[in-house]
Amino acid sequence: MREEILKNVKTSFIGKNIVYKSITDSTNNLAKQNLDLPSGTVFVADIQTNGRGRSGKSWISDNKDGLWMSILLKPDISPERLSCLTLVAGFAVLKALQYFVDAEVYIKWPNDIVIENKKVCGILCELINQDNIGTNVVCGIGINVSTDTFPDEISDIATSVKNACQNKLTREEIASEVINQFEPLYVEYIKNGFDNLVCEYKNYCITLNKNIKLVLGNEHSEGFAFDVNSSGELVVRCGDKTLNVSCGEVSVRGLYGYV
């Protein structure tokens, strides 16, 4: 796994150091336990026994059908300026999959990657708040690569790269390309913020120009999503109000389904 990924990595720091485990609870946890390793270290596992998703949900990854990886990053900027990093990570995966897959690939705001209206990748970015160690972020990426069937409860909303394209891609090929796409986007974001990236991000954002449902705990509201601003917020018209919705606060659904 490690050598296969390294072989195609063309970056200067992300993915230069790769920690591989055949089995671990969660590659995000593994990264958090290894904050002494250099920025750009990638943690990858065949199997996660406790894969974690957003909003405290679990992420099915107790199999070798997906790419389960986390990137440890030590950006030299304050945590308040990192709110778009999770969108940047999604953008990198989008570009990596576009490189391989014939089908149209989209981003469901903020960072689910969608093919044929189903989710193929989820991203969980975690900021580590510890005194005296600077800013550490773990960017966890889960891509369903060769999964044929999903459990009933998610079969309507989940897909895999294999379902979407005829080529038999390996997890390693996809990992290298995600790393190659991630680095330039990350460097640009840390240097100049999201301003120069937002325009292209919006071209692929399937949430835009749609009626959506915002879900915050038990509260639901409906609105029309019409923009993503340079702070990475989804701009939603709700009746006569315009809301700037930050990721992390809410989950977004299509009015009639997942997208």
Binder of ligand BTN out of 9, 14, 27, 91 (CB under 6 A): 27
Measured from each CB, the residue nearest to ligand BTN is: 122
Binder of ligand BTN out of 59, 106, 182, 189 (CB under 6 A): 59
Interaction between residue 53 and ligand BTN (CB under 6 A): yes
Nearest distance from residue 120's CB to ligand BTN, in Å?
11
Binder of ligand BTN out of 39, 41, 61, 181 (CB under 6 A): 61
Using alpha carbons, select from 16, 11, 4, 12 the residue that is nearest to residue 42.
16
* Nearest CB to ligand BTN, comparing residues 178 and 245: 178
Interaction between residue 142 and ligand BTN (CB under 6 A): yes
Binder of ligand BTN out of 1, 5, 28, 233 (CB under 6 A): 28
Using alpha carbons, select from 39, 3, 34, 37 the residue that is nearest to residue 183.
39
Q: Enumerate binding residues for ligand BTN (CB under 6 A).
A: 26-28, 48, 51-54, 57, 59, 61, 68-70, 112, 122-124, 140-142
